[in-house]
Amino acid sequence: MAGRTGSGAGNHGRGGAGRGFGKNNEFRGGKPGGKSGGFKGKGSNKGAKPGAPGGPRKPGKGQGPKFKSGKPFAGEFGEFRPNNRKNSNYAGPHRPRRPKADPVDHYDFYDHEGVRLQKLMAQAGVASRRVCEEMIEEGRVTVNEQLVTELGVRVNPDEVSVRVDGITIQTNDKLVYMAFNKPAGVVSTMEEPDGRPCISDFLRKSMNQRVFHVGRLDVETEGLLLLTNDGELANRLTHPSYEIPKTYLVQVRGPVELGVSNQLKKGVRLEDGVSRVDDFRLVDSTPGHVLIEVVIHSGKNRIVRRMFEEVGYPVEKLVRVEMGPVRIGSQKQGTIRNLSKVEIGELLASVDM
C-alpha cells in the first residue's frame, strides 16, 4: 500500500514510470516501459504548443473525406462530411434527385396552364396526393375516357371528365349539388307569387350560385329534393330512360291485405297508363296505421298517392327518403346540405356521367 500512496517507487520495477501519486501528490499516469504522462498538479503542459505532447490538438478544418470510400459508388451520390461542424444538421448523403419524366403533353386534353391531375384529384377529396399518384400509375384513372398512367398531366378542371375506378369525380367548383329535406306545406318552386313557403326561403342569402330543383314533390309530401345548377345532370335524373329509383315511406290506415303487395308490384291501371312499384316492404304497424316502404322509378305526378288510392288505401303521410344513391338519413326537416364528394360521384355515375 505504501507504494501506491508514496513516491511510486514500488511500481518502477516494471521498466518505466508507474502510476500513482508522487512526492508532491501529483498523479502519474504513464504507461509501463514509457515516460510518465497524464495530468499533473504542478509542472503540467498547459502552456505547450498545439500538437506537442500533452498540449492541445491542432485546429482542423473539419473536412472529412468527400465520400466514405474515397470515391462515389452506387447508392451514394452526395458528399460525406461527418466532421464538418458548419453543417451540424447533416443527416447523411444527399437524396438523389428524381429523374425527369417523359413529356406528357401528347394527350389532346393536356393544358399547359392547367392543374396537375393528381392535385386535382386530391382537391376533389379522392385521397392524398401521393395516393392519387399511385392510382394514376396503377391505371385506375381516366380523363375524357382516355386511360392515364403517367404523372405530370395537366388539365383544365372545367373542360375534362375525370373518373377513378369508373366513378366520376367533381372537378368543377362552379357546380353545386345539394339535398333539401322539404317539410310539408312547402311548394316545390323557387318563387311563389301567392306568398306560400317555397324552396328559396330555405336557401342562404349569401349564396351566389343560382340553383334549381330536380323534379318536384307535391305540397303535402315531405323529404328529399335535390338542388343543383348542373343542367345535364338534372335532365338525366328526370329522364325516364335512366330509371332512377326513388324510395318512399307511405303511411296508410291498416291493416293492409296480403294481396296489395302483389297487386302493386304487378301494376295498376291509372288514367295515364299502367304503373307499378319495384319493391314493397312492410316497415311498421300500429293500431289503425301501417308504415310501408316502396321503391319506384316512375316520375309521374303524384304517382305514389294515385297508386295507393287505386288499391283502396289512401295515403295519410308520404316521405321521400332516397333518390338514387342519395339518402336523406338523419338530416333535419327544412335544412339544406351540400352533397359529399362520394355522393356526387355516385350520382353522376348513376346517369352515366
SS3 content of the chain, % helix, strand, coil (to 5): 20, 25, 55
Q: Cell numbers of 5, please?
A: 500512496
Measured in whole angstroms, the distance separating CA 99 from the mean position of its chain's CA atoms is 28
Long-range contacts of 324-331 (CB under 8 A, 24+ apart): 324/237, 324/244, 324/245, 324/246, 324/350, 325/350, 326/179, 326/224, 326/226, 327/224, 328/179, 328/181, 328/223, 328/224, 331/179, 331/181
Angle CA 23–27–31, to nearest 5: 115
Measured in whole angstroms, the distance separating CA 128 from the mean position of its chain's CA atoms is 6
Helices 341-350, 231-238: inter-axial angle, 10-degree rounding = 50
Q: Cell numbers of 123, please?
A: 382537391
Angle CA 58–62–66, to nearest 5: 135
Q: How far apart are CA 168 and CA 41, in angstroms?
A: 84
Catalytic sites, residue numbers: 218
297, 239 contact by CB (below 8 A): no
